[in-house]
Amino acid sequence: MIEVRELVKSFGDIRALGGVDFTVREGEIFGLLGPNGAGKTTTISIIAGLLSADSGSVRVSGMDIRRDGRRVRRMLGVVPQDIALYEELSGRENLRFWGGLYGLSGKRLHDEADRVLELVGLTDRADDAVREYSGGMKRRLNLSAGLIHRPKVILLDEPTLGIDPQARLNILDIIRDGVSGGMTAIYTTHYLEEAEKLCDRIAIVDHGKILAQGTLKELVKLAGEGNIVTVSGAFSREQVNPLLKGVVVEHLENGSLRMLIPGQAELSGALGRLFSAGIPIGEVSIQEPSLEGVFIKLTGRELRD
Amino acid sequence: MNAILLIVRNDMKRRLRSPVSIICMFLIPLGLTLLVGLVFGRHGKVELSHIKVLIADDDRGFAANFLKQGMKQGKLAELIDLVEVDPAEGRSLMDRGKASALIEIPKGFTANILDRKPAEIALVKNPQESFLPLIVEEITETMAVMIDGAAQIFEEPIGEARGMLTGGRWPEAAELAGLLAETKPRIALVKGYLSDTLISIGSETVSAPGAEPERTLNFFALIMPGSILIGLLFISEITMRDILREREAGTLARILAGPVQSGRVVAGKMLSSFAITLVACALLIAIGRLAFGIAWGSPLKLLAHVVGSILLCVGLMAFFYGFIRSERVADAMLPVVIIVLCIFGGAMIPFEAMSPAMQRAAVFSPSFWVIDGLKRISIERTDWGGIAPHLAIVYGLGALTSLAGAAKLRGKLGGRG
Ligand SMILES: Nc1ncnc2c1ncn2[C@@H]1O[C@H](COP(=O)(O)OP(=O)(O)OP(=O)(O)O)[C@@H](O)[C@H]1O
Ligand SMILES: [Mg+2]
């Protein structure tokens, strides 16, 4: 459905994208997971036709976005990272404008506006000016404006940004409900849990490059089906390092470390060595294989929250 | 609905919801008009340079003298610079635009008045000026009425006095007393006589002679065209600025992410600026009529000129915003540009009161043509020929700046098809 090939984009000296390449299949929610400045918004903007790439290509439904720009844009819905609404107009008036741009009118426009207002739970506040909305309400309206014309493809750029965890879950539910009936979606986020919960397939982006992509299972396998083991106690780096050769170790602070351990045997081996050397260990926690492990392995760092 | 109209409708709706900035821009010209008008009204004189009036007197009689003396007296002396010329010289000076008006008093003017026969004064007006010649016309008319009234009141006594004078002897005291006694009851009749004055003033403009309809002078009519220009410039500025605001708010990008051509987005933004400025202008004109009593003249000519003028203002602003990247730059630059346009257009100091050097420069400012056109239509009641150059300039320059501005803005938005 969406084929992104070797996108390169620089802003002056800053190379935002260094050959981004992925394919989104019809009907799936594809996650672009990456930290701040990874190049997520740049990628979305190029697909939406708002930026032109220095090189590379994007095809949507087989159409090249450069050649068939308007036809492609007609199929797309965009939910921008920064809320883009007319503050002085009401929620309903906003929706009627955005829907109108995609050719909706009359009763159809009216009904679709009602539908998405219902979807995001703003029916009661539909006729209030957007400037009187809370941050979360604006986020939801921002989302609904991208869905009003029932796009075939929806580009969601961090639609949960700046929202408390409770409301975030709510938005994920809305997206799951809204993105149905064969709609294809690209969802960018820097929240691991969101990608895990929502996305059929995920690409991990950092510094303008895709480091890995696949389903959650495939990605976790990439990390070697490892466990993340966090150990804390009254020890120093120098004491433990010789005991942990061959294990990926990240020292959080003195007296606390995190290891990525591929298998069960290696896990008991490493812990056994620590215990038999008499290292004073206070607490051990073992985490199931997860996207976080993959991320740490690929980027050598955690996603910032 | 068409994307252009959709944008226009949306923008108008948004302006209605938060009209504060427009209302401010709207109050500025109105306040200025009121202020300047009140100052003028209070002091009863226009702060104008002296009006240069030529007078060619072929009559050399007392009626002609009365007219000349009248213009040299009191307040009129402050206003009018009367220069005596012979008729040929007067015409040639007028052809070169050296004075505001030329008054020609033909031979036999006094005799005709005394004989109660129709008498005529010719008034030649400078087509380069709109307001000053009208003042002269107004004054001349008033004086003609006074001379005529006097002639009517004193008709019989004058006959007798003439007899006495032509008889070559000075009247006796008793005869004079009788004469004066006879005049007393007649003064009450002045009003009745004024309506059918026998003196007619043939007025013509050097290049375009023609009958002039009656009108009275209204100071506000002199000031308000300038105020309207100020309003048009400021309102088209803030409405075109919206393209920067929308860019910063992200709504412009969101529109462009839809299936709309960027050229249409630019056209929509310019058209909405045009529409909002037009509504504001119509309100200003209506207020001018209702609150200040300005007779704007032919509605068709006014509409044609106002539409062209708004096209020019919106075009200029679109052109500027094609280059301006941020509101900070706009804030620093545009008020200066607008004030310069207002000054040279004659919105601050009336064109008539400018120094000759400034007048020569003003002609090169497009804003001058906006104001001058309005004055010609409302004050001078010109025919289409009289505003043809104005229309050519506002439409020509308006189309040029609009196209250039649209192209530049479209390029800025990414220029995709
Ligand atoms: N208009 C621009 N001008 C200059 N640099 C830019 C511009 N847009 C993006 N960049 C740079 O490109 C890189 C990628 O930015 P981008 O916005 O795509 O990141 P992102 O993954 O969306 O980050 P975030 O999670 O913070 O939204 C960053 O280094 C950013 O500074
Ligand atoms: Mg981003």
Mutate to test the pocket of ligand 1, among A4, A10, A41, A210 (most ligand atoms within 8 A of CB): A41
- The last residue of a domain, from among B186, B205, B224: B205
Q: Which residues pair with B120 in a beta bridge?
A: B200
Report CA Rg, chain B. Answer: 28
**A80 closest CB neighbour out of B3, B253, B414:** B253
The residue range of the domain holding B100 is 46-205
Query: How high is the mean pLDDT of chain A?
Result: 87
CA distance A93 to chain B (A): 9
A205 pLDDT above the threshold of 80: yes
A173 pLDDT above the threshold of 80: yes
A203 pLDDT above the threshold of 90: yes
In a domain, residue B395? The reply is: yes
| DSSP character at residue A205 | E
Non-local (6+) Cβ contacts of B308 within 8 A are B390, B391, B394, B395, B398
Return the pLDDT at B415: 46
- The last residue of a domain, from among B181, B205, B229: B205
Q: For residue A13, give both structure tokens.
A: 């000296």
Closest C-alpha residue for ligand 1 atom 18? A39
Q: Is A38 in the pocket of ligand 1 (CB under 6 A)?
A: yes
In a domain, residue B149? The reply is: yes
SS3 A157: strand
Q: How far is the CA of A203 from the centre of ligand 2 (A)?
A: 15
Do residue B35 and residue B50 come from a single domain?
no
Q: For A49-70, write each residue's pLDDT tens digit.
A: 999 999 999 999 999 999 998 8
**B13 closest CB neighbour out of A48, A84, A89:** A89
> A257: closest CA among A269, B405, A238, B264?
A238
Q: Is A152 in the pocket of ligand 1 (CB under 6 A)?
A: no
In a domain, residue B352? The reply is: yes
Do residue B256 and residue B188 come from a single domain?
no
- The last residue of a domain, from among B205, B231, B254: B205
Do residue B152 and residue B166 come from a single domain?
yes
Interface of B with A (CB under 8 A): 1, 3, 6, 10, 13-14, 17-18, 249-251, 253-261, 414, 416-417
**A80 closest CB neighbour out of B3, B254, B259:** B254
Closest C-alpha residue for ligand 1 atom 6? A11
In the block, which residue shows the tokens 């009248």? B70
Do residue B95 and residue B14 come from a single domain?
no
Mutate to test the pocket of ligand 1, among A4, A7, A8, A11 (most ligand atoms within 8 A of CB): A11
Percent of chain A with pLDDT over 70: 94
SS3 A256: strand
Pairing of strands A209-214, A201-206: antiparallel
In the block, which residue shows the tokens 């992410």? B257
Do residue B195 and residue B221 come from a single domain?
no
User: Contact B17/A89, CB-based, under 8 Å?
Assistant: yes
User: Contact B254/A102, CB-based, under 8 Å?
Assistant: no
Q: How far is the CA of A61 from the centre of ligand 2 (A)?
A: 24
In the block, which residue shows the tokens 């607490």? A283
Q: Which residues of A touch B13 (CB under 8 A)?
A: 89, 93
Do residue B229 and residue B355 come from a single domain?
yes
Per-residue pLDDT of chain B (417 residues; tens, 9 = 90+): 689 999 999 999 999 888 887 787 778 778 777 776 666 554 434 445 568 888 888 888 777 777 777 777 766 777 778 888 888 888 888 888 788 888 888 888 878 877 777 778 888 887 777 667 777 777 777 777 777 777 766 666 666 666 655 555 555 666 656 655 554 444 333 333 333 445 555 655 554 333 343 344 677 788 889 889 999 999 999 999 999 999 999 999 999 999 999 999 999 999 999 999 999 999 999 988 888 888 898 999 999 999 999 999 999 999 999 999 899 999 889 988 998 898 888 887 778 777 888 888 889 999 999 999 999 998 888 889 999 999 999 999 999 999 999 999 998 886 443
> B305: closest CA among B229, B239, B360, B237?
B229
Q: Which residue has the higher pLDDT, A68 or A249?
A: A68
Q: For residue B138, give both structure tokens.
A: 């107004």
Do residue B16 and residue B104 come from a single domain?
no
Q: For A105-156, write each residue's pLDDT tens digit.
A: 999 999 999 999 998 999 999 999 999 999 889 999 999 999 999 999 999 9
Q: Which residues of A touch B416 (CB under 8 A)?
A: 49, 69
Return the pLDDT at A90: 96
Do residue B293 and residue B226 come from a single domain?
yes
Non-local (6+) Cβ contacts of A261 within 8 A are A226, A227, A228, A229, A247, A248, A267, A270
Q: How far is the CA of A37 from the centre of ligand 1 (A)?
A: 5
> A176: closest CA among A198, A193, A194?
A198
Length of chain B: 417
Q: For residue A235, give both structure tokens.
A: 């020890």
Quote ipTM for the complex. 0.82
A78 pLDDT above the threshold of 80: yes
* Number of alpha carbons in the 13 Å side-chain half-sphere of residue B266: 25
| Atom of ligand 1 minimally distant from the CA of A9 | 12
> A267: closest CA among A252, A234, A289?
A289
Q: For residue B2, give both structure tokens.
A: 């068409």
User: Contact A52/B250, CB-based, under 8 Å?
Assistant: no
In a domain, residue B78? The reply is: yes
CATH number at residue B98: 3.40.1710
Return the pLDDT at B382: 86
C-alpha span between B378 and B289 (Å, rounded):
11
- B311 residue type, one letter: L
Mutate to test the pocket of ligand 1, among A10, A17, A33, A42 (most ligand atoms within 8 A of CB): A42
SS3 B255: helix
Nearest chain B residue to A83, by CA: B250
Non-local (6+) Cβ contacts of B87 within 8 A are B56, B58, B104
**pTM for this model (two decimals):** 0.73
Q: Which residues of A touch B257 (CB under 8 A)?
A: 48-50, 73, 76, 78, 80
Long-range CB contacts (within 8 A, 24+) of A62-69: A69/B416, A69/B417
Return the pLDDT at A252: 67
In a domain, residue B231? The reply is: yes
In a domain, residue B210? The reply is: no
Find out whether B199 and B144 touch, Cβ atoms under 8 Å: yes
Find out whether A201 and A27 touch, Cβ atoms under 8 Å: no
* CA A31, chain centre distance (Å): 5
Q: Which residues of A touch B261 (CB under 8 A)?
A: 70
Pairing of strands A55-60, A2-11: antiparallel
> B288: closest CA among B26, B16, B4?
B26
Nearest chain B residue to A71, by CA: B259
Q: Is A36 in the pocket of ligand 1 (CB under 6 A)?
A: yes
Do residue B61 and residue B16 come from a single domain?
no
In a domain, residue B211? The reply is: no
| Atom of ligand 1 minimally distant from the CA of A205 | 21
Closest C-alpha residue for ligand 1 atom 16? A39
How crowded is residue B201: how many other Cβ atoms within 10 Å of its Cβ?
17
The 3-state secondary structure of B161-184 reads HHHHHHCCCCCCHHHHHHHHHHHH
Do residue B158 and residue B274 come from a single domain?
no
A76 pLDDT above the threshold of 50: yes
Q: For A219-233, write each residue's pLDDT tens digit.
A: 877 766 567 788 888
In a domain, residue B318? The reply is: yes
Non-local (6+) Cβ contacts of A37 within 8 A are none
Do residue B24 and residue B67 come from a single domain?
no
Angle, helices B132-153/B62-71, rounded to nearest 10 degrees: 140
Specify burial of residue A15 (Cβ count, 10 A radius: 0-12, 13-18, 19+): middle
Non-local (6+) Cβ contacts of A263 within 8 A are A224, A225, A226
Find out whether B193 and B153 touch, Cβ atoms under 8 Å: yes
Length of chain A: 305
Q: What is the largest CA-CA distance in chain B?
A: 103
| DSSP character at residue B353 | G
Return the pLDDT at B209: 38
Q: Which residues of A touch B414 (CB under 8 A)?
A: 50, 52
What is the total count of domains within chain B? 2
Q: For B67-95, write each residue's pLDDT tens digit.
A: 777 777 766 777 778 888 888 888 888 88
In the block, which residue shows the tokens 């033909």? B106
C-alpha span between B138 and B82 (Å, rounded):
15
Do residue B37 and residue B51 come from a single domain?
no
